[in-house]
Structure 1
Amino acid sequence: MKMLVDFLPILVFFVVYHLTKDLVLATAVLIPATLLQVLYTWWRHRRVEKMHLVTLALVVVLGGATVMLQDGEFIKWKPTVVNWLFAVAFLLSPLWGRGDGAGKTLVQRMMEKSVSLPAQVWSRLNLAWVGFFVALGALNVFVFTYYSEETWVNFKLFGMLGLTFLFVIAQGLYMARHAAHGDDHPPTKGNQ
């Protein structure tokens, strides 16, 4: 259910765009859909993730500029800005935190209750996410610059989601390799 709520605004944007071929109208619908997503999350859980608040702020600012100026270029930047903000958050995450969270990467804070990994592996995973977010943001710019608006809308939903899914699988395989052995190196024949 949470995944559906998380993706509902982009699905609404996608459907409205494909029904109308009007990026400004799709953006005008995206703004209240994102606001409703945040309000529903608050009503249901009495808290809202920072990611949802950042996304809402960017949708309101860049989406509002898109609607007010009747120019779809503004909303096309939203995925890039979100991904680059995530990259900065992951990169700087070891610098903040209280108690048990001090010095830990964002990936480690999110997953250490489920997986035990050496600090070096957590750092590599975190840096991989930084690189992924930077690359995904740059790829968004490339797609909206060199391809049609419709291609960008499709990429925004299917391309970004698909690339994220593949990256998560790759990260899972990397984690499994290191978690299974409890150290940073796979076993060799001499120490199996």
Structure 2
Amino acid sequence: MKLLLDFLPIILFFAVFKWGDGNRELAGQWLTQHLGFMVAGGVVGAKEAPMLLATVAVAAISVLQIVVMKLLRKKIDTMLWVSLVTVLGLGALTIYFHSPTFIMWKPTVIYWAMGGGLLVSDIIMKRYVLRKMMSASDLDLPEAIWRNLSWAWVLFFLGMGVLNLYVAYNFSESTWVNFKMWGGLGLMLVFTLAQGVYLSRHMPQAKPKADPGVSP
């Protein structure tokens, strides 16, 4: 369930953008009618309508997530708050200035925030929060293994942030949205599996049990 909630904003952004991309005129009219007061000039054109509509949707679902978790008295992770503030701030700029550039920076800001957090907690302070997040506190592995793993994630988040900006500034909005949905999640899955393989190679081998029927 938590995994679904984490990916829900990405899935919704993708779905709403694709709908808006196929119904640009309708999306522009709806945004102008209902949210024109938030937009510079008061009118949303068909060209920018899909991205602005997807931005509104992801901002709404992000707020709803926080409200529901608060009502259910669930613990809200720090990164969820960071994501909310980022999407509201950059989303507001995107809507007001009719520019998708701001919301396109959101994944990079989140990636770099997570990478920076791991750099401080795991590399500098040596708290190895990553080990706790992976529910692997009981694994008896050398500290160097966890440090290497933390460095790998820090560099991965740094690289993903740069890659997001490269796609955003060099390809179409549609390509960026596809990359955000499939490329970003795909690379995250592959990298996570690679980390699992890395950990498995360093796990202590179980000692064979002695045969009770054989005398020492």
Q: TM-score, normalised by structure 1?
A: 0.86
Per the TM alignment, residue 41 of structure 1 is displaced from its structure 2 partner at its CA by 2.3
The structure with the larger Rg is: 2
Per the TM alignment, residue 107 of structure 1 is displaced from its structure 2 partner at its CA by 1.5
Write the distance in 1 (CA, Å) between the matches of 2:131 and 2:171. Answer: 37
Identity %: 38
Say whether residues 1:23 and 2:51 are aligned partners. yes
| 2:183 corresponds to | 159
Write the distance in 2 (CA, Å) between the matches of 1:145 and 1:116. Answer: 44
Write the distance in 2 (CA, Å) between the matches of 1:35 and 1:149. Answer: 24
| 2:6 corresponds to | 6
Per the TM alignment, residue 106 of structure 1 is displaced from its structure 2 partner at its CA by 2.4
Structure 2, unmatched stretches of 5+, are 22-49, 207-216
Matches within 5 A, 1:38-57: 38-57=66-85
Write the distance in 1 (CA, Å) between the matches of 2:111 and 2:205. Answer: 32
Which has the larger displacement, 113-122 or 52-61? 113-122
Write the distance in 1 (CA, Å) between the matches of 2:83 and 2:111. Answer: 10
Per the TM alignment, residue 143 of structure 1 is displaced from its structure 2 partner at its CA by 0.6
Per-residue CA shift, 1:146-179, capped at 9, x if unaligned? 1111010011111110000000000000000001
More helix by share: 1
Give the partner amino acid of 1:24: L
Write the distance in 2 (CA, Å) between the matches of 1:73 and 1:163. Answer: 23
Per the TM alignment, residue 83 of structure 1 is displaced from its structure 2 partner at its CA by 0.4
Matches within 5 A, 1:1-192: 1-21=1-21, 22-94=50-122, 95-96=124-125, 103-111=126-134, 112-181=136-205
Write the distance in 2 (CA, Å) between the matches of 1:6 and 1:45. Answer: 17
Per the TM alignment, residue 75 of structure 1 is displaced from its structure 2 partner at its CA by 0.2
Write the distance in 2 (CA, Å) between the matches of 1:64 and 1:115. Answer: 44
> How large is the Cα RMSD of the aligned pairs?
1.5
Per-residue CA shift, 1:61-111, capped at 9, x if unaligned? 001110111111100000001101111111111445xxxxxx322222323
Aligned length: 176
Write the distance in 2 (CA, Å) between the matches of 1:120 and 1:127. Answer: 10
Write the distance in 1 (CA, Å) between the matches of 2:85 and 2:180. Answer: 18
Runs of 4+ off more than 3 Å: none
Write the distance in 1 (CA, Å) between the matches of 2:150 and 2:117. Answer: 10
Is 1:90–1:106's contact at 8 Å kept on the other side of the alignment? yes
Write the distance in 1 (CA, Å) between the matches of 2:118 and 2:203. Answer: 21
Per the TM alignment, residue 47 of structure 1 is displaced from its structure 2 partner at its CA by 1.7
Per the TM alignment, residue 13 of structure 1 is displaced from its structure 2 partner at its CA by 1.0
